[in-house]
Amino acid sequence: MRRKIVAGNWKMNGSRALVKQLMAPVGSELAALDNGVGVVIIPPALYVADVLESAVPGVEVGVQNIARWNSGAYTGEISGAMARDSGCGYVLVGHSERRQLFDETDEQIAAKVGQALDSGLTAILCVGETLAQRNAGTAEHVVAGQLRAGLVNVGDNQWPGIVVAYEPVWAIGTGETATAEDAQAMHAAIRNELEKLGAPADELSLLYGGSVKADNAAALFAQQDIDGGLIGGASLKAEEFMSICRAVPGSY
């Protein structure tokens, strides 16, 4: 059975006060959940320790980025090994903001996936098309290419460390979202591409990211190939975030 995951990406937001404000209600709400969802909090790296110290049972922690190197003279970077040593279990790789604002290439993303797996982290590989690509009818082709490039170095025994998050670029932080049917179609295409790559496609968790809110989460998560969500702005609001977590079906 695929793991159900809701991951909250705080992006460059937060403070120590916000950690306390968010994590206490998340902890109390999570204790009452019975749908088996795995909750991952991905704060800015400076607040990883604070989130870990909140000691909320059942919450795992991730980082938003790692270096494509294991160690060395790379000022400002953190390695996968450092993230793991600090208590993290997950890392985002290839987020559209990293691709667009920091010019991350497919080769760099593939290297980061490799570093994550070698360090014992689960890599959440983000893929997605722009509005122009969708309108041109090339969305599935673009996403398939990102998958092939980002996962090129994954070994046969490393697939359990991979989660894929589909985040249509045009729906991130815009208030726009793919319809549940459109999102399902892309997730099915992703699973098909993973099978072509030799992955145990039916066992890998696929998340949807792109303006997921409490009012659209249930429709998205009801789809056959959507196993949870990568949540942006809504993860900074405890009640809305937990509403999204509650929307994950108890079984498939």
Give the HSE-up count for residue 17: Cα atoms under 13 Å, Cβ half-sphere: 0
- Average pLDDT of the residues of the chain: 94
Residue at 252 is within a domain = no
Model confidence band, residue 245 (pLDDT cutoffs 50, 70, 90): very high
Q: How far apart are CA 106 and CA 110, in angstroms?
A: 6
Active site residues per annotation: 95, 167
Residue at 251 is within a domain = no
What global pTM score does this model have?
Answer: 0.96
pLDDT score of 35: 86
DSSP 208: E
Q: How far apart are CA 8 and CA 44, in angstroms?
A: 11
The b-or-e profile of 185-212 (16+ CB within 10 A means b, else e) is bbbbbbbebbeeeebebeebbbbbbbbb
The per-residue pLDDT for range 31-64, each reduced to its tens digit, is: 778 888 999 999 999 999 999 998 788 899 999 9
Residue at 128 is within a domain = yes
Residues 6+ apart with CB under 8 A from 85: none
Q: How far apart are CA 130 and CA 34, in angstroms?
A: 36
Number of domains in the chain: 1
Would strands 59-63 and 38-42 be described as parallel, antiparallel, or unpaired? parallel
The per-residue pLDDT for range 151-187, each reduced to its tens digit, is: 999 999 999 999 999 999 988 777 777 899 999 999 9
Residue at 81 is within a domain = yes
Asked if 239 contacts 14 with a C-beta cutoff of 8 angstroms, the reply is no
Q: How far apart are CA 216 and CA 58, in angstroms?
A: 24
Model confidence band, residue 69 (pLDDT cutoffs 50, 70, 90): very high
Residue at 195 is within a domain = yes
Domain encompassing residue 79: 5-246
CATH classification at residue 223: 3.20.20.70
The per-residue pLDDT for range 103-139, each reduced to its tens digit, is: 999 999 999 999 999 999 999 999 999 989 999 999 9
